[in-house]
């Protein structure tokens, strides 16, 4: 299970004179949690957007699960299992947590979002929706309208929504953003057991989270991969310490 599921090959994206990705090359092994770290403006979010298909790359290639997906749309990548985590804005605020997950399961089954009412009434979606809510620790909140959920719970629901689409690989851009320490710990405990089934590429500023969760870390500086290695290798890498980590 150590073959790469994702290969990023010389990916470039320029915004005017700024090369946000500049020949970015790294690969992610199947079933691992791989973190992308680096200083502000290093190109982490740009890389995630290029990999999800939201941003079209200027040059370079992306291979996912044996296929060249470089020119594929967001939807086509998602249908193949390469999925970015949902933002709360894509949730339906007037619906309950369970309704939202049911809609996400239904959309994965090939129905469009115009069958919202059907998703609410379709009892065959209830059991899988409850199972997913349990997986993210939200069983007690299944019947709550999502506007009444705390911030951390909304992030857990975002994770539930993306799990409902049965991804092979998740692109997680700051899943702990805006969370307090206990919420952040809880999210870590939710992500950890997904490993193996789901490969994860994680952008996260909290180095405690990164070093506790990641199997492999790639350090980005100015749109390029400065180093890739295990947390211990990255911690000990003199070039990384100079460029980014300092005395961490």
Binding residues for ligand ATP (CB under 6 A): 15, 18, 20, 38, 40-46
**Nearer to ligand ATP (CB atom), residue 12 or residue 45:** 45
- Min dist CB 22 to ligand ATP, Å, is 10
**Residue 3: CB partners within 8 Å, gap ≥ 6?**
29, 30
To which H or E segment does residue 152 belong? helix 151-163
Q: What count of other Cβ atoms lies within 10 Å of the Cβ of residue 174?
A: 18
**Nearer to ligand ATP (CB atom), residue 16 or residue 238:** 16
Six-digit token string for 180 = 């307090």
- Min dist CB 60 to ligand ATP, Å, is 15
Task: Check residue 91 and report its DSSP letter.
Answer: S
**Nearer to ligand ATP (CB atom), residue 160 or residue 225:** 225
**Nearer to ligand ATP (CB atom), residue 1 or residue 17:** 17
**Nearer to ligand ATP (CB atom), residue 59 or residue 124:** 59
**Residue 121: CB partners within 8 Å, gap ≥ 6?**
none
- Min dist CB 151 to ligand ATP, Å, is 19
**DSSP line for 52-71:** HTSS--SEEEEEETTEE-TT
How far is the C-alpha of 21 from the C-alpha of 222, rounded, in Å?
A: 7
- Min dist CB 42 to ligand ATP, Å, is 4
If 0-12 CB within 10 Å is exposed, 13-18 middle and 19+ buried, where does residue 126 land? middle
**Nearer to ligand ATP (CB atom), residue 157 or residue 179:** 179
- Min dist CB 18 to ligand ATP, Å, is 5
- Min dist CB 81 to ligand ATP, Å, is 24
To which H or E segment does residue 35 belong? strand 33-37
- Min dist CB 20 to ligand ATP, Å, is 3
- Report CA torsion sign: 69, 46, 203, 239: positive
Instruction: Give the number of residues written for the chain.
Output: 248
Q: Where are the beta strands (DSSP E) in 76-120?
A: 82-84
**Nearer to ligand ATP (CB atom), residue 13 or residue 105:** 13
């Amino acid at each position: 299970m150590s073959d790469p599921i994702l290969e990023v090959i010389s990916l470039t994206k320029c915004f005017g004179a700024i090369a946000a990705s500049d020949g970015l090359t790294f690969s992610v092994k199947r079933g691992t949690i791989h973190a992308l770290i680096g200083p502000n403006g290093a190109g982490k979010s740009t890389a995630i957007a290029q990999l999800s298909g939201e941003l079209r790359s200027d040059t370079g290639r992306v291979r996912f699960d044996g296929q060249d997906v470089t020119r594929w749309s967001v939807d086509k990548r998602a249908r193949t299992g390469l999925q970015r985590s949902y933002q709360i804005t894509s949730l339906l605020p007037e619906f309950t947590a369970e309704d939202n997950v049911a809609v996400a399961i239904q959309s994965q089954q090939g129905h469009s979002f115009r069958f919202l009412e059907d998703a609410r009434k379709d009892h065959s979606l209830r059991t899988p929706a409850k199972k997913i809510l349990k997986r993210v620790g939200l069983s007690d909140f299944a019947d709550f309208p999502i506007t009444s959920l705390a911030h951390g719970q909304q992030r857990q629901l975002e994770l539930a929504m993306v799990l409902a689409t049965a991804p092979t690989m998740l692109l997680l851009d700051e899943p702990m953003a805006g969370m307090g320490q206990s919420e952040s710990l809880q999210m870590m405990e939710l992500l950890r057991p997904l490993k193996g089934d789901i490969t994860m590429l994680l952008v996260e500023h909290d180095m405690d989270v990164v070093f506790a969760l990641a199997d492999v870390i790639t350090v980005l500086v100015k749109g390029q991969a400065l180093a890739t290695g295990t947390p211990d290798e990255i911690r000990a890498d003199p070039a990384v310490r100079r460029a980014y980590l300092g005395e961490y």
